[in-house]
Structure 1
């Protein structure tokens, strides 16, 4: 049973990473209540099957021994419309999730009716859920907003672009040449999907701002990478590096 989006009072999003090996394998349950002024939210994110790994193996993958995360509180109501819009446009399947894992939903309307559904557009729901979790991280002060710098240096001059993505309020700020403008959320998210596709060679990265011609990016950790040299495509069938260049040039 597909409940009407405008009648929804709450939603639970459950995810299982399936066959992904530890220490990456995890599950989460995201509960969202549609309040008058905010979204009443809880998150339980738990990493699984780590008992078969040594502490060193976990550390080597960039994790700690306590990566589980729990939250109960409120997030901005600005997330309500895009969440309901995604629910409204989704098609559903009765096929149970297999070892590949995925997302399922439990929705409840204002009359108390409930429905458990599995979306066919799994990737779209998983990306949206990760955005919601990032909003929770920012709201709870676990993480700061994502901040990137992009430098274009040519013979005629340079342009420094500061891009700040605030998931907690679904807002993008672009600062360039002393001016701050609001960026488009969806276009910026598309650009970010390209930013994290290539391979970043930290042996070629510099902490100083580059002073030679080229395109350079700092992904938020203070290291500058040169596109085409320290940032190279992993998949020859898709030129993510060019997409990054084009995306940042279109921002301002």
Structure 2
């Protein structure tokens, strides 16, 4: 029975991790962001004619349970043993819990275009000033390779979206043409990603003291902190590639139905 007990124990500890990281709450936030993005697609691709049918399709694609499970799969790949326990210990602490609350609140706040614009402007003002708080945030960004990982994820998702449109005969493009078309936007995506990350992290961590922020930056540079970031991207990357392809498929079907 000892052989069977190990994976059961590991599974239980990953369930604890999911609870500590409040991934169900994060999944709901991502679901809400998905609805906003779906409305943008409706406006830009369907001239606002999607209606309730399109809205329901988007809701199913961004199902919170699907999002949560995708996050878990990624975390299970990179966190085990000591690194797993160190992540649980940190985010079960008072500081770790506050950080999660602040991140989730900031993410919801940035859904307001006015809030996002103000946060981006604040980041731009501080970017090259040597601000002590921003220095700690930059440590986190570097430790997690957050800019490049987010850019790569965005590019891969865009490729999948375009593939769905091509597979649905909406466009006639070769694989090389798809890749070139998407890569042409890399610099723009990278600049936007850097601005958004800086704005988000500055806003989220503004209530923390410099000492608390430094403690979090220290954690982000540990093996556990790096593994946590790697785990999130290991979950998000395939998840959002699948979502992007599904959105492209849904658009093709909706456009076909309109033509009929």
TM-score bracket relative to the smaller structure? under 0.3
- TM-score, normalised to structure 2, is 0.25
- TM-score, normalised to structure 1, is 0.26
Higher strand share: 1
